[in-house]
Structures are given as structure tokens and as C-alpha cells.
Amino acid sequence: MHERQSIAAGLEPVAAAFENGHFAASVDGELVVDLGERDDLVLIFSGTKGLVAVCLLMLIEQGRLRLDDPVAAHWTGFSSPDVLVRHVVSHTAGLPGLVPPPELAELLDDEGMALRVAAQQPFWQPGERLAYHALTYGWLCGGLVRRIDGRSIGTFFAEEVAKPQGLELWIGLPAELEPRVAELVRAPGYAVSFEGDDVSLLEAQYGPLLRHFPWNEEAFHAAEIPGANAIGTARSIALLYGRLDRILGPETLRLGRTELSRGPCAITRYPYAFGVGFELQTELGTLGPPANAFGHTGSGGSAHGAWPDERVGFSYVPTELRSLDDDDRARRLLAALYACL
């Protein structure tokens, strides 16, 4: 096994806090930490949502999308006239799941799933409650990008973000890269965090993923599942967050991390806060010590984001997936990094 250890002078305590998986950090857009077991590509689950947020913010900056636009103004056939773009990006659209839930194979058809979400009536009044749109966030945002721009969100991200920045990061993995994908291993107790009281809502939210784990399958790497299946390297994600000012203007970046929603998920009771697609800090401190950190976490322990004042981008990508209660790997790494700055 090839072990990679690249640490800038003064950041050695970060390596001491590193346990397994892959961790990278950048300062001023340049890599200063790159740790990992191999030069693997790894699936980042909901870390994908931060990549999608960048795409939406690009459309906003170009004047092609506004937060107060009704989704139906861009999406012919979208069933709810009350759902605004700001609801979609802040997980308050009232569309956190589907009834009936999709079959597992349906998840591979991004446009088919977008059409299903478009036909779903909101579970409650849009803007009324925060409920984590675990999968539907991706199909809603992907559907908007396709209808505004004409490209799928995976193609848009590849052509407008990843390729210009030289990033190994994809929503929909090219087949020739499949041999580089790391196998994910579930630790005992790994499961969705749920402290709610309505299991039927959880079923609508996650559907077949409550019973199946398809994330080591090639088909689930090649498809575009824009809420859950981006694949790449930790260093590319750290560079993306560290170079957001090369992709978006300062006003757009400020908008992206402006709080639009905060509170416990109406389904799972897990605490969240959101800007324009980006996850913001909560009392859990999952994005490191800075209060103004933003980015997105992912199932199994991953954490990706930026610290604006420190000009830092970071990404922790585990290959062993752990439950929330049994995992402090990212917190330890981010605390060590912050203490060194």
C-alpha cells in the first residue's frame, strides 16, 4: 500500500491527528496538507451538495437564476408554484422525499428522478420547515441547471468548474477511472441518524437506501446522483474550496454563505444550517473551529469546506464509514489544522 504524506512546515501536528482515509488542506489556493493511504478516488456522499451549490451560485452570478424565482418559472411542468429557489437551496422546499419511494434502480436516472420530484406535492407549505432533502436536493438543483443551461449538472460541473481548475472531481464518473475508486467499508453501527417519530417520512427521505448499500457498484459511480455520488480526491476538494474566489465573485461568495435556514431537521431532528446550498456551522462544529466555516459534510464522516478568514480549504474523505456518535476523525484533524495556523 502506498502511503502519501505531504505536510508543509509547521503543520506536522495534523499528520499526528490523522487516522485513516484521505485529508487535504489548502491555504491561499495552494495545497499545504495531503495525507492518504493511496492515490484513490473516493465517493463523498452529501459532500456532493457543496459542488452543486457552486453550480447554482454560478448561474446566480450570471443573472440566469434568482433566489426569489419560483422554480416553476424555469421548469415547465413543476407542480408547486409556491416553491422558490431559496427554498430548494436551503432545504425548506417541503420536498424532502418521494411518495411512494423510488426503487433502487430508479436512482440511476437523474432526469427521471427530477421529473418525479417535480410531480411530488410538498409535504408541507414551502418555507415552513427545514427538512434535509438528502436526495431530492440534487434532483431539484440538477433539474434547474438542465432547464436553464441545457447541460446536466455533472456536465456543467465538469466543464465550468473541474476542468478549468484542474480538479479530479466528478458527478458521474467516466468509465475509464473506475479502477481508481476506493472500496467503502461500513463500520459496525453505521446508519442514518434518526431521532424523529415518523418513520414513514424517513422512508420517503431515503427510500431504498435504508435497506441497500449500492455505493461500491460501478453503475452508482457512473450515474449522476447530484445529492450523493460525487467522486474525487481530497486534495481536489480542498483546492476547490480554497479557490472559490477564482470561480465566484466576492458578493456571490458572501451570498453563498449567508444563512437562509437553521434548526433541527423536521424528519430526523439532526441540527442543520444552510446558506445557498452550502452547509453552515451548527452547535456540532462539524466544519472545524471557525464559526463562519461553510461547505458540506457527508455520510460516514466526511467533511469538506472553507474557512474564509484563514483562507483555508479542506477535505476529509474516509473509506471506513462510521456513525455520527462514533466518529471524531474530521473534528480532530480540523482542530489540529486550526491550532497550527
* DSSP labels, 211-257: T---TTSHHHHHS--TTT--EE-HHHHHHHHHTGGGTS-HHHHHHHT
Grade residue 39 by pLDDT with cuts at 50, 70 and 90: confident
What per-residue confidence (pLDDT) applies to 197? Answer: 75
With beta carbons less than 8 A apart as the criterion, state whether 291 and 282 touch: no
Residues 98-107: what's their mean pLDDT? 98
Can you state the angle between helices 48-61 and 136-149, rounded to 10 degrees?
A: 30
Output the average pLDDT for the chain.
96
Q: Encode 305-333 in three state secondary structure.
A: EEECCCCEEEEEECCEECCHHHCCHHHHH
Residues 132-150: what's their mean pLDDT? 98
What per-residue confidence (pLDDT) applies to 264? Answer: 96
With beta carbons less than 8 A apart as the criterion, state whether 100 and 271 touch: no
The residues that bridge with 181 in the sheet, in sequence order, are: 41
Grade residue 120 by pLDDT with cuts at 50, 70 and 90: very high
What per-residue confidence (pLDDT) applies to 194? Answer: 76
Residue 2 has pLDDT above 60, yes or no: no
Rounded Cα–Cα distance for residues 219 and 235 (Å): 25
pLDDT digits 0-9 by tens, 269-325:
999 999 999 999 999 999 999 999 999 999 999 999 999 999 999 999 999 999 988
Grade residue 1 by pLDDT with cuts at 50, 70 and 90: very low
Q: Classify burial at 315, counting beta carbons within 10 Å of its beta carbon; exposed 0-12, middle 13-18, buried 19 or more.
A: buried
Residues 51-79: what's their mean pLDDT? 98
Q: What percent of the chain has pLDDT over 70?
A: 99
Rounded Cα–Cα distance for residues 295 and 281 (Å): 9
What per-residue confidence (pLDDT) applies to 119? Answer: 98
Residues 218-237: what's their mean pLDDT? 98
Q: What percent of the chain has pLDDT over 90?
A: 93
Residue 135 has pLDDT above 70, yes or no: yes
What per-residue confidence (pLDDT) applies to 196? Answer: 73
Residues 149-174: what's their mean pLDDT? 98
Residue 73 has pLDDT above 70, yes or no: yes
